[in-house]
Amino acid sequence: MKEAIAILDFGSQYTQLIARWVRHAKVYCKIYPYSTEVETLKRDKVTGIILSGGPASVFAEKAPRPDVRIFDLGIPVLGICYGLQLMGAMLGGEVAKSESREYGHGTLRFKQESRLFDGISRGEIRVWNSHGDRMIRLPLGFKAIGVTENSEFAAIESESQRLYGLQFHPEVSHTEGGSDILKNFLYKICGCKGDWVLEEFIKIKTEEIRTTVGNAHVILGLSGGVDSSVAAALIHQAIGDQLTCVFVDNGLLRKGEREEVEELFRGHFNMDLKVIDARARFLKALKGVNDPEQKRKIIGREFVFVFEETVKGMKEVEFLAQGTLYPDVIESVPINGSPATLIKTHHNVGGLPEEMNLKLMEPLRELFKDEVRELGEKLGLPHKLLWRHPFPGPGLGVRVMGDIREEYLEILRNADAILIEEMREGGYYDEVWQAFCVFLPIRTVGVMGDERTYDYVIAVRIVESEDAMTADWARLPHEFLQKVSNRIINEVKRVNRVVLDISSKPPSTIEWE
Ligand code: XMP
């Protein structure tokens, strides 16, 4: 891959969206802190630079600014929103301070022909605005190519300097033709050909893994989720039996999960898979523990212990592989003078300690989730696994409220399996973000046949969401809910009541603990 776009991040909530659109257009890109020096960009041989939007005002005392030399590199630069204002302010134009933010839809009218708008035949498009300040005088050499109701300079360019700016957000789906505008920047202006294809990635990574590993051995903690499964398939394709996958059965898995992992990875892929039955150990450690945070800590701690013990017993392990993804490693931007760049901790990893003395191998760390799914497909992983709903690391441990007992887990596993089966059957599974059952250790009175019952409650949680930051309960047909409820009460022993969770996030969370 020879093409690479640098996205300088000024703290916009949409920065990752820009990156995803660029990748969608088959061009590799990386997000850099806004202060990255031109030497780094030159070293990385970037083909184009995009300045993201950001929450700051160019007038703020500590307004984040890029290395001014980026404008002289001769490499095309596209400034989006705050990025456009920076370009204006740093190159001698004028930006007006604004007290209120312009937020929402606007209409962009094309004023002059521009390669940015190539192929967009309409004379105007709906665009998405979210900005405070706006440009009121252009820097030398620039012209306006598009105007909106509130701005004479909503789209600008200086073709000879290869500098472009958009006041609105092309990366947001509310902007009509936004992806075409970005594509035009990449293909028509930066001259990209689109060499970011996953087949190529597989070839390069496979080679890289082989060279790095040599004759050594790699270990990977397989959870059965998308990321670790795809990492396992990729590494296995590269080094075969030099990879050992460890799957820890902590007793908090869903029905049939362990068997499915065994069947796929050992059976189908013929991988060296160690399944560690640690059910008793986890249950013992969790006995009598009610506090959710405490439960999470114990589950994390026990996992590390079991994993370490397993690795100790193996010879010549040199690498620890993990399915870390790009969003886990993007550095968050210190805006408004916060001191150091922070690396997000990834909560799926479980904090494997440094004393393990293994070298980290993270072959997916450049990829977004959708790319990982596509990669998984190319590596032959089943659709069902790749599109599985998220499942929390602590598993059913945070879906049995309070004290965890085997009896409760068994009830929950059976109820959950019915819900998931019905979700698939009804065609709703792929439509929602998550669907699961929660076990409530409360008993209520019921009547079955002629008998009075006094049994437990199952709560059904089905949510729609884009990114799990906010979520709403899915409005599924009453007939469907009725069927789920009937089946759970009839088929799962010790359950005589099913309730539906109709809370949104916020203020509730998706999981109950
Ligand atoms: P909440 O409950 O915070 O969940 O609204 C947001 C999303 O994160 C998942 N989740 C976790 N995932 N380890 C994980 O790997 C965890 O400890 C954990 N807790 C919550 C949850 O299922 C939802 O998709």
pLDDT tens per residue across all 513 residues of the chain:
789 999 999 999 899 999 999 999 999 999 999 999 999 999 999 999 999 999 999 998 899 999 999 999 999 999 999 999 999 999 999 999 877 777 889 999 999 999 999 999 888 999 999 888 989 999 999 999 999 988 999 999 999 999 999 999 999 989 999 999 999 999 999 999 999 999 999 999 999 999 999 999 999 999 999 999 999 999 999 999 999 999 999 999 999 999 999 999 999 999 999 999 999 999 999 999 999 999 999 999 999 999 999 999 887 899 999 999 998 888 766 555 433 333 333 344 445 767 778 999 999 999 999 999 999 999 999 999 999 999 999 999 999 999 999 999 999 999 999 999 999 999 999 999 999 999 999 999 999 889 999 999 999 999 999 989 999 999 999 999 999 999 999 999 999 999 999 999 999 999 999
- The Å distance, Cα 43 to ligand 1 centre, comes to 38
Q: Give me the catalytic one of 3, 102, 157, 171.
A: 171
How much is the pLDDT for 242? 97
Nearest CA to ligand 1 atom 11: 392
Give start-end residues of each CATH 3.40.50.620 domain in the chain. 198-386
Domain spanning 399-500 has what CATH number?
A: 3.30.300.10
**Which of 399, 510, 512, 513 for mutating ligand 1's site (highest number of atoms within 8 Å of CB)?**
510
Give start-end residues of each CATH 3.30.300.10 domain in the chain. 399-500
- The Å distance, Cα 392 to ligand 1 centre, comes to 5
**Which of 464, 508, 511 for mutating ligand 1's site (highest number of atoms within 8 Å of CB)?**
511
Residue 462: beta bridge partners? Answer: 435
How much is the pLDDT for 101? 77
Secondary structure (H, E, C), 240-293: HHHEEEEEEECCCCCCCHHHHHHHHHHHHCCCEEEEEECHHHHHHHHCCCCCHH
- The Å distance, Cα 469 to ligand 1 centre, comes to 10
Q: Is the pTM of this model over 0.85?
A: yes
What radius of gyration do the chain's Cα atoms show? 26
How much is the pLDDT for 351? 58
Q: Give me the catalytic one of 81, 190, 192, 437.
A: 81
Given 3.40.50.880, 3.40.50.300, 3.40.309.10, 3.40.50.11060, which CATH number is that of 5-189? 3.40.50.880
81 counts as catalytic: yes
* Ordered alpha helix ranges (H), 170-223: 178-184, 198-213
Alpha carbon of residue 139 to chain centroid: 38
- The Å distance, Cα 462 to ligand 1 centre, comes to 14
The identity of residue 513, as a single letter, is E
Q: Which atom of ligand 1 is nearest to the CA of 512?
A: 2
How much is the pLDDT for 346? 34
* Short-list 10, 8, 6, CA closest to 334: 10
346 counts as catalytic: no
Q: Which atom of ligand 1 is nearest to the CA of 391?
A: 22
Nearest CA to ligand 1 atom 24: 390
* Short-list 332, 329, 333, 311, CA closest to 320: 311
Residues near ligand 1 (Cβ within 6 A): 296, 347-348, 390, 392-394, 434, 468, 505, 509-511
**245 backbone dihedrals φ, ψ, rounded to 5°:** -100, 140
How much is the pLDDT for 131? 82
383 counts as catalytic: no
Buried b or exposed e, range 435-474, using 16+ CB within 10 angstroms? bbbbbbbeeeeeeeeeeebebbbbbbbbbebeeeeebebb
146 close to 157: Cβ distance less than 8 angstroms: no
Rounded (10°) CA dihedral 266, 271, 277, 278: -140
Q: Give me the catalytic one of 3, 169, 176, 422.
A: 169
Nearest CA to ligand 1 atom 20: 392
How much is the pLDDT for 102? 79
- The Å distance, Cα 398 to ligand 1 centre, comes to 10
* Short-list 464, 468, 462, 447, CA closest to 499: 462
How much is the pLDDT for 341? 34
**Cβ contacts of 470 within 8 Å, gap of 6 or more:** 504, 505, 506
Rounded (10°) CA dihedral 67, 102, 470, 483: -140
How much is the pLDDT for 349? 45
133 close to 190: Cβ distance less than 8 angstroms: no
Domain spanning 198-386 has what CATH number?
A: 3.40.50.620
Nearest CA to ligand 1 atom 16: 392
